[in-house]
Amino acid sequence: MRMTGNTILITGGGSGIGRALAESFHRLGNQVIVSGRRLAALEEVTAANPGMAALELDVADPADVARFAAELVRRHPELDAVIHNAGIMKPEDATADDWGAGVAEATVATNLLGPIRLTAALLPHLRSRPRSAILTMSSGLAFVPLAATPAYSATKAAIHSWSMALRRQLKGTTTEVIEIAPPYVQTELMGAQQAADPRAMPLDAFISEVMTILTERPDAEEVIVERCRPLRFAAEEGRLATMFDTVNAMH
């Protein structure tokens, strides 16, 4: 992926990893559009970064995805990169009497169907560009699941698989597919306590390493920071059961 001269959409760009990536790409001279459900958060980002644009999007709503994609291409016909960052992560307790599928359904709609639907809506445009990129956001938990968040872990495993398959289908076209797999990072994905958890990787350190990998390895298919490598390669190295116990003993 080239690092400058792009027009990049970043979903979930109002906070956390999405905002940090948006600001990093913005500083490099890219035109960045952030999207999300909370307009106030998006406006805060654009106010702090003159020249950045914002569009509301509920990525879990199929009708809104269709509306958004049409408006995005109309306003930004030079769009040539999409970072699918929007996501939710909620605990589930299968032993609770009132446990149901509600959390799982919402998680699948946002984390998996959202990127699939938005990619489907934007891919004809992206393939018309001289060069384009689709960046997906999986997780270290795609490779070693967290028992407390089974649906989240499952959607991220699905995103990894989908990214591999999409990359193979688009091989030889002008569109590349890059997967970013974060470890446990200091964001508010699961609440304010996560942002202050010393066990989590500092957000600025994660973003810095991601941008370095993208810069130094422009043909990278996966962006795996050092902190995430034990999770990413646990199965390949015969450590999956041990790593699964380790990850789940922490939570």
Q: Which residues are catalytic?
A: 152
Question: Closest by alpha carbon to 111, among 75, 139, 71?
Answer: 139
Q: Which pairs count as long-range contacts for 52-58, CB under 8 Å and 24+ apart, including other chains?
A: 52/22, 52/26, 54/13, 57/11, 57/86
The closest of 197, 183, 184, 199 to 233, measured between CA atoms, is: 183
DSSP 81: E
Residues whose CB falls within 8 Å of the CB of residue 136, separated by 6 or more in sequence, listed in order? 84, 115, 159, 162, 163, 177, 178, 179, 180
- SS3 state of residue 47: helix
Other Cβ atoms less than 10 A from the Cβ of 184: the count is 23
* CB of 220 closer than 8 Å to CB of 213: yes
Sequence-separated (6 or more) residues with CB below 8 Å from residue 157: 138, 141, 142, 143, 145
Angstrom distance (rounded) from CA 59 to CA 245: 33
